[in-house]
């Protein structure tokens, strides 16, 4: 069936192009053993994050949603020398698993995980002058996606890139209640974020749909003008 074909092609592309290394495979496996949900980015998307970090010459990357650190490893490998990734994670156990995975991947010295609700961490990053970030990857609780884009705008500079994950969700992004309202809080958050990406004068955005082992989804990219 189609889902099997998507997965087979993704596996083929991963083997042919992506070059996921043992530390990355182990990061996924250890997250699984530790009971974390398998909701990390796919290997090709992780590689894309690394390439985007390289393309933008990113020295400072902000990630919202660490999980077991799989995407964090890709981002850390994409930052230029002396660069760093700040990654926000709510669950202490996720952060602990991620720290071990980052250590094993040899990138722990480039990453700082901030444990807590991102909406509390982000103001402290702004107050502490931690920005501006060159690349922001938003991949946490989707109901706050619009808030995260607003914080990303405060924490970036013209030329920065903002990436928002899971903006399609098997087409649920269009799901509406009988009165035209969006039923699901996560979908509402994502639609509000997309509306902001599309309407804010400071942003130039697009979104790409994807298929693969994780089904049908997509991500948005926005350049800060």
Which spans of this chain sit near ligand SAM (rule: CB under 6 A)? 39-41, 65-67, 70-71, 88-91, 94, 117-118, 139-141
Rounded Cα distance, 67 and 79, in Å: 19
| Minimum CB–partner distance for residue 182 and ligand SAM (Å) | 19
Contact at 8 Å (CB) between 139 and 98?
no
Q: Which is nearer to ligand SAM, 88 or 224 (CB)?
A: 88
Closest contact distance (angstroms) between CB of 1 and ligand SAM is 25
What secondary structure does DSSP assign to 138-170, as a single string?
A: E-S-GGGHHHHHHHHHHTEEEEEEEEEE-SSGG
Closer residue to ligand SAM, CB minimum distance, 52 or 140: 140
Minimal distance in Å, beta carbon 35 to ligand SAM?
A: 12
Closest separation in Å from C-beta 12 to ligand SAM: 21
At 177, list the tokens.
């209640």
Of 178 and 209, the one with the shorter C-beta distance to ligand SAM is 209
Nearer residue to ligand SAM within complex by CB, 115 or 205? 115
Q: Evaluate the omega torsion of the peptide bond into residue 132 and state whether it is cis, within 30 degrees of 0.
A: yes
* CB of 140 or CB of 222, closer to ligand SAM: 140
Q: Which of 72, 96, 99, 97 is nearest to 86 (CA)?
A: 72
Rounded distance between C-alpha atoms, residue 173 and residue 187, angstroms: 6
CA gap 129, 114 in Å, rounded = 15
Q: What distance in Å separates the CA atoms of residue 73 and residue 99, rounded to the nearest whole number?
A: 10
Are the C-beta atoms of 198 and 205 separated by less than 8 Å? Answer: yes
CB nearer to ligand SAM: give 141 or 184: 141
Instruction: Tell me how far, at minimum, the Cβ of 71 lies from ligand SAM, in Å.
Output: 3
- Around 114, how many Cα atoms within 13 Å sit in the side-chain half-sphere? 17
- Compare residues 134 and 139 and give the one whose CB is closer to ligand SAM: 139
Minimum Å gap between C-beta 128 and ligand SAM is: 17
Q: How far is the CB of 46 from ligand SAM (least distance, A)?
A: 7
Q: Do residues 29 and 78 make contact, with C-beta atoms less than 8 angstroms apart?
A: no
């Amino acid at each position: 069936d189609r889902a099997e074909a998507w997965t087979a092609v993704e596996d083929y592309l991963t083997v042919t192009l992506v070059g996921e290394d043992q530390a990355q495979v182990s990061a996924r496996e250890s997250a699984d053993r530790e009971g974390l949900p398998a909701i990390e980015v796919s290997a090709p998307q992780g590689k894309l994050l690394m390439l985007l970090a390289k393309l933008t010459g990113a020295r400072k990357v902000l990630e919202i949603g660490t999980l077991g650190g799989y995407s964090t490893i890709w981002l850390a490998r994409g930052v230029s020398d002396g660069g760093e990734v700040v990654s926000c994670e709510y669950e202490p156990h996720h952060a602990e698993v991620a720290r071990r995975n980052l250590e094993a991947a040899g990138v722990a010295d480039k990453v700082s995980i901030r444990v807590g609700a991102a909406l509390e961490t982000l103001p402290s990053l702004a107050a502490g002058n931690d920005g501006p970030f060159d690349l922001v990857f938003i991949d946490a609780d989707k109901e706050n996606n619009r808030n995260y884009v607003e914080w990303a705008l405060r924490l970036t500079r013209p030329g920065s890139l903002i990436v928002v994950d899971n903006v399609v969700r098997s087409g649920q992004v269009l799901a509406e209640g009988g009165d035209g309202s969006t039923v699901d809080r996560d979908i509402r958050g994502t639609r509000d974020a997309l509306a902001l990406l599309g309407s804010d004068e400071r942003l130039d955005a697009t979104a790409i749909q994807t298929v693969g082992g994780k089904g049908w989804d997509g991500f948005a990219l926005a350049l800060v003008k």
